[in-house]
Amino acid sequence: MVEEGARPGPPGVEEGARPGRPVVEEGALAPGSKPPSPDHGVVICVDFGSTFTKALLVDLAEGRVAAAAEHRTTIETDVLDGYDACLAALTAQDPRTTDAPALACSSAGGGLRIAVVGNEELVTAEAGRRVALSSGGKVVAVFAASRGDDLGEVPASRPDVVLLTGGTDGGNPEPILACARAHVGESPQEVLDALLADVKAFCADATQSDDVTVVMVKYNG
């Protein structure tokens, strides 16, 4: 931890050192930090690294990054000087930063704890594990949906970051191919109607989140 006025070693902030600034514990969320509720609107997420201090302003209601900033970690003066620079940059991009609560961690000297959640055990879950390792983080758990892993156990691994991989940009084409094979010999319109019916049945009451495009080609050769 860093006492105010002393030359800091690894980035860290002693509780009570400066009002309004985050409390940081190396390699984990600060003690006593609680995830803000969506009522806050936005939250500042900051990581004090060995080289860079990086901060994001996250819109909790929309689930997106509203602003981002980074600054060299100011270990030669006070690590919070770099945080103040990030805070100013975030405020310039989105004025909601001013009243936003902050969650802080430090990846210096050990890296963040990362839990990987993938679709296929030997494909996306493994790819996610390798990405997490190459980032310098500590992989504390790997979950694969195809293996039937209980995703409810993710919090038990106490991750700082959850890396989600797989299940998008192509996904699982087999149900669509199976439908097409079942209607060989029918007209393109009949195949299309059957395919869209299968998609609708699979999605049930889920809200559509992307376009559905189907190209039907009849080969007369």
pLDDT tens-place string over residues 76-112: 899 899 999 999 999 999 999 998 999 988 877 667 7
The answer to whether residues 90 and 97 touch, using CB atoms and an 8 Å cutoff, is yes
214 vs 194, more confident: 194
Grouping H, G, I as helix, E, B as strand and the rest as coil, residue 132 is: helix
State the pLDDT confidence band at 11, using cuts at 50, 70 and 90.
very low
Compute CA distances 214 → 128, 188, 196, 197, whole Å.
30, 11, 9, 13
Question: How large a percentage of the chain has pLDDT more than 90?
Answer: 21
pLDDT tens-place string over residues 125-155: 888 888 888 777 788 899 887 788 887 788 8
The answer to whether residues 45 and 39 touch, using CB atoms and an 8 Å cutoff, is no
CATH number of 1-110: 3.30.420.300
